[in-house]
Chain A
Amino acid sequence: MTETTTRTASDSGTEVTLPVHSDLLRLATAGSVDDGKSTLVGRLLHDTKSVLADQLDAVHRASADRGLATPDLSLLVDGLRAEREQGITIDVAYRYFATPKRTFVLADTPGHVQYTRNTVTGASTAQLAVLLVDARKGVIEQTRRHAAVLALLGVPQLVLAVNKIDMVGFDEAVYTRIAAEFTEHARALGYRDDTVVTIPVSALLGDNVVERSANTPWYSGPSLLEHLESVPVAPDPHDAPFRMPVQYVIRPRTAEYPDYRGYAGQVAAGVVAEGDEVVVLPAGLRTRVSKVDSPDGARPRAAAGHSVTLLLADDVDISRGDLIAAADAPPRVTDELDATVCWLAEKPLNPGAKVLVKHGTRTVQAIVTELAARFDEQQLSSVDSPDSLQLNEIGRVRLRTAEPLPIDDYAASRRTGSFLVIDPADGTTLAAGLIGVPLAPLAAASE
């Protein structure tokens, strides 16, 4: 689906290929500290010629200042002072690069255990994750933890990059053992084999990152970039029932538009068209869509991802926080949430905690009525009724909300099945919330 066009730059006479309708892949990296994620990302940017001369000069200068013989490509991405001083990644960085085949948005996430919340940040919007392991260490606890988080958040495609393959003499046996162990773990998490790819790479030297390497004649698969360019990306599902949280009521009250009253929002799932019957939740009022408006004028329909303004046939009372949904397939409306949470705060979660829940465009008060289980993502087992959930732990909770919410299961809809847990005292984001138990083995473990 890619079209390209060739232009001639006026200053240099160079032929440039511009992606015109290139499609987009959102990906995240994950892996333990020192596995070489930043080096891999730096290598990917460098070898796809996505690094411009002044950035490269800066890396050469900084590497020389540190007394290094070869440029340290991790300095391309580790942008914070503390990161460069310590040689680690502290926070998620977003990178943009393009090839003639695809445009990429890459969330480069830190590996430190204390920063797992940033892996969750990167994974919540990713369509693919590249997990790194060090070939000398193989699959470790952090690899299994990250894979479980990625599976829980529903990242559809996994790549295991077995990095530093040069450090084990490009040994096929080492790679095969690690690949088999990881594939088995991914399978246990519910990944089908065709959604998991393993690749032996050397981020430092560039083997199998962009170009296939002559040092791994026993490996017949794609390079990392070839895989990223060709992996199928599932578009937002249009066959899901329509959902749109109301963000803002647009009422111009101008001479030109004295009676205009539009409900602005981004379509979260499905498709909406003029004439569709809809229900406004939580109140349950039914009406019809009289017009689908966009800043470029009325359009016959809008699909998931579009920001639009809906005009409705009846004069009903709607405000920010309401959800407009397909009348024939509405979400359930409840004040009891059964959910899985990734706890992202230093302060632990205890039963009875009073929190805020942000779901769609509605923020409501809630109380944690029950801590049902804590998952062990290493053993894919669970502990019933734990006393608390600590930083980076995943558990099953029950919440009672002050007002009913229109919800779907996370497994059916990432957008209307997710929520934030917020500290009412200082506004901190405490947890990522997922309605239901989206991960089959964890659901089974907590039955």
Chain B
Amino acid sequence: MTTVELPIDRTDVPPQVDNLDALESEAIHIFREVAGEFDRPVILFSGGKDSTVLVHLARKAFWPAPVPFPLLHVDTGHNFPEVLAFRDELVERHDLRLVVASVQDYIDDGRLQERADGTRNPLQTTPLLDGISENRFDAVFGGGRRDEERARAKERIFSLRNAFGQWDPRRQRPELWNLYNGKHRPGEHVRVFPLSNWTELDIWRYIQREKIELPEIYYSHRREVFLRDGMWLTSGPWGGPRDGEVAATKTVRYRTVGDGSCTGAVESEAYTVDDVIAEVAASRLTERGATRADDRISEAAMEDRKREGYF
């Protein structure tokens, strides 16, 4: 090992960066690698807390220049109106570009069919993959975190998808040091997950530190909900309450934001970021277990969707 004497005083440098600083620095590094290596990146944006943090990090990565790529929102047609309003305001305020892929358009012209159970979450995959290929996006940022779910825990930061958008967990590239391999062939694309190493609590502590605004439904409010399969769903165009399902007005908030048909609210008195952090730290349920009906379909529901091209 070679040691070199350096002329300036290094003693005031903190010995280890704070955990949030380290996560932020890693995410910024990933954003810049993609901007340097790919022709047409895009950020997949749902209006949820993870993708909002993603946009915040992208703005930091290229500051004082604008974010050099657009956002892609897959609109299921069953969005919470508060989330759509938040999305449009965010895009306007930061001068971002927004591309929307609409599930409703696919249903209206017959390319997709409404499912019997009314959920549109699985229907997102086709408009997503079409949106990627029509716009020739070659790198697609997602807000996925490895702590969310067992199959996500297996995900690389750079994840190659074949021409059909499919993930093959057996053939993932080794990911060594922080040298990310973005090579891909025409038609293939790479999914990129800058928040891989963040936990739900890290996200909330970062939102607190950076004072990041979120859609208001993340904080407690009064809302008419009805109980289905053990989850409080909001009444809305996605169907419900059906016969036998009773609506009630409760104080709730959302831990995740997704398609209205399958994203449940949790009863909560968390009105501020501090309240949410305390609640998340004490919760005995994971965010997906508490609020996502689509993960309850089978033991490998997430893996199966990812293999088809979903995030």
Contact = CB atoms under 8 A, between A and B. Distances in A.
B279 interface: yes
Contact of A422 (B28, B146, B183): B183
B183 A427 contact: yes
Interface residues of B, number: 82
Interface in A375-422: 409, 411-412, 414-415, 418-420, 422
Interface in A63-111: 76-82, 84, 90-96, 103, 105
B173 interface: yes
A264 interface: yes
A253 B146 CA distance: 37
Given A10-B275, A94-B197, A307-B61, A432 B35 contact: no
A120 B175 CA distance: 9
B60 interface: yes
A306 B25 contact: yes
A11 B282 CA distance: 9
Interface residues on A, range: 35 or more
A22 interface: yes
A276 interface: yes
A288 interface: no
Given A320-B36, A344-B174, A361-B36, A305 B3 contact: no
Contacts of A21: 18-19
B192 interface: no
B33 A247 contact: yes
A412 B154 contact: no
A91 B154 contact: yes
B149 interface: yes
Interface in B1-38: 1-4, 6-8, 10, 13-19, 21-22, 24-26, 28-29, 32-33, 35-36
Contacts of A250: 62-65
Interface stretch (B78-86, B119-127, B235-243, B284-292): B284-292
B181 A7 contact: no
A329 B5 CA distance: 9
A23 B201 CA distance: 15
Contacts of B277: 7, 18
Contact of A80 (B8, B64, B178, B303): B303
A257 B15 CA distance: 34
Contacts of B282: 9, 11-12, 14, 16
Contact of B176 (A84, A96, A301, A418): A418
B218 to A, nearest CB: 15
Contacts of A411: 1
Contacts of A256: 64
Contacts of A251: 65
A241 B146 CA distance: 34
A240 B197 CA distance: 27
Given A235-B16, A427-B184, A79 B153 contact: yes
Interface in B263-289: 267-270, 274-275, 277-279, 281-286, 289
Contacts of A90: 169-170
B150 interface: yes
B199 interface: yes
Interface in B191-224: 196-197, 199, 201
A429 B65 contact: no
B297 interface: no
Interface in B25-57: 25-26, 28-29, 32-33, 35-36
Contacts of A266: 25, 28-29, 178
A11 B303 CA distance: 33
B190 to A, nearest CB: 10
A306 B183 contact: no
A238 B10 contact: yes
Contacts of A60: none
Nearest to A272: B8
B278 A125 contact: no
Contacts of B61: 264, 295, 307
A117 interface: yes
B30 to A, nearest CB: 10
B227 interface: no
A265 to B, nearest CB: 7
B181 A422 contact: yes
A427 B181 contact: yes
A227 B39 CA distance: 46
Interface stretch (A47-55, A157-165, A189-197): A47-55
A428 interface: yes
A420 B37 CA distance: 15
Contact of A418 (B3, B173, B179): B179
Interface string A1-39: 100000111111010101001111000000000000000
Given A18-B281, A241-B4, A427-B185, A11 B146 contact: no
Contacts of A412: 1-2
Contacts of A24: 16, 19, 22
A317 interface: no
Nearest to A62: B299
Contacts of B275: 10
Contact of B174 (A54, A120, A270, A426): A120
B300 A238 contact: no
A435 to B, nearest CB: 12
Interface in A235-251: 235-236, 238-241, 247-248, 250-251
Most chain B CB within a 10 A radius of its CB, from A62, A254, A270, A429: A429
Contacts of A329: 4, 6
23 contacts: A10-B279, A11-B269, A21-B19, A23-B16, A52-B285, A52-B289, A79-B300, A91-B169, A92-B154, A94-B197, A125-B178, A236-B16, A247-B33, A248-B32, A254-B66, A264-B61, A303-B13, A326-B4, A326-B6, A329-B4, A358-B181, A418-B176, A429-B173
Given A21-B18, A58-B289, A81-B304, 6 more contacts: A24-B16, A96-B147, A235-B15, A305-B22, A427-B181, A427-B185
